[in-house]
Amino acid sequence: MADYKEAGVDIEAGDNASKIAYSFAKSTFASRKGMMAEPVIDDGSFAGLIDMGDFYLVQGDDGVGTKMEIAEKIGKFDTMGQDLLAMVCDDAICLGAETISMTNTLDTNKVDAKIIHDLMQGLAKACIEQKIVIPGGEIAEVGNSVNGNIWNATAVGILEKNKVITGENIKIGDKIIALKEEGFRSNGFSLVRYIIEQKFGKNGYSEQSPFGKSWGEILLQPSQIYSAELLNILGRFGEKRKIEVKGISHITGGGIGGNFNRILKKTNLGASFDNLFAPSEMVKEIQKMGEVSEKEAYKTWNMGNGMMLVVAPEDAEKTLEMLTIDAEIVGEIIAEPKIILYSKGNNPQKIEYKLEKKT
């Protein structure tokens, strides 16, 4: 029975490392006390807020992780740019921010012009669709320091001070809306690759899947980007907010339990999910192939639910009407500080996560 730790990733160790890193990051904040660009402390946030006087600058970083290794195995790089953009602008939108620019850094063992072309062409296409510019970047040829390509990005967004989505107004009975995701996004691929390679070997990505494409092609399905869609509701910079969205959670590594908790951090509330989107048949096939338990699958992958919004009950139907992508009411906020979900993988069951009570 495969799990993320066996595949080489320890989520708990990663969370602890993130806390250590942020503690040192916060130690720099006092150096700009009372100055322009004073940062805002917000533990567990999806991106960082910097006070620019009349508005906030929002900044965050991420990358495509080991999904890149599948692209390298089959020589297909044209969708990776959409994955890279999704990881950073869909973190910024959790605060309500409009991402305006993103820079990227590619560390490679050997520069290959064709790979650079395909990566950047895909990134540029995604950025144009989202109205985001690429003002700069870096390509570093680092020889044997890396094996292949490592691609990361920094996004910069802007946000009016009266439009920050903090989660502090979330109340019992508020509705949770999920936005559908067909694939794995760019998260949990160490486990995905472990399963494929245990089954078919290191070069198993060229093996035919049951879905009309090779496993490599089907796994490279690009991440859905939610940012521009949500800005139609939240309003771009200078536009009025059409609906009060109380919380937004990007379901990435750590799954629903690990990420939805981040928007409940200013409350002592919990959430119950009784109508989640089911994962795609492709995701379920990978789960079955690796004998991945429901709890591990929902801890590692988004399992069909890429983004979640919290709105007041009276705003739920209007929100669904305004969204042009697949979205459903999947649950609601509850009084108990825990997350309860009814899974829809290969072995549907009730899963609970206890949340740390706030004092």
H or E segment to which residue 149 belongs: strand 149-160
Residue 326 region, left (φ>0) first, then alpha (ψ -120 to 50), else beta?
beta
Question: pTM above 0.85?
Answer: yes
Show the tokens assigned to 298: 């929902």
Low-confidence ranges of the chain (pLDDT < 70): 4, 7-8, 357-359
What pLDDT sits at residue 7?
67
- Residue-wise pLDDT for 51-106, tens only, equals 999 999 999 999 999 999 999 999 999 999 999 999 999 999 999 999 999 999 99
DSSP state of 208: B
Which pLDDT score is estimated for 357? 64
First to last CA, the chain: 38
Question: Are 254 and 302 in contact, with CB atoms under 8 Å apart?
Answer: no
Question: What is the DSSP secondary-structure string of 85-136?
Answer: HHHHHHHHGGGT-EEEEEEEEEEESS--HHHHHHHHHHHHHHHHHHT-B---
Domains of the chain: 11-163 (3.30.1330.10), 175-354 (3.90.650.10)
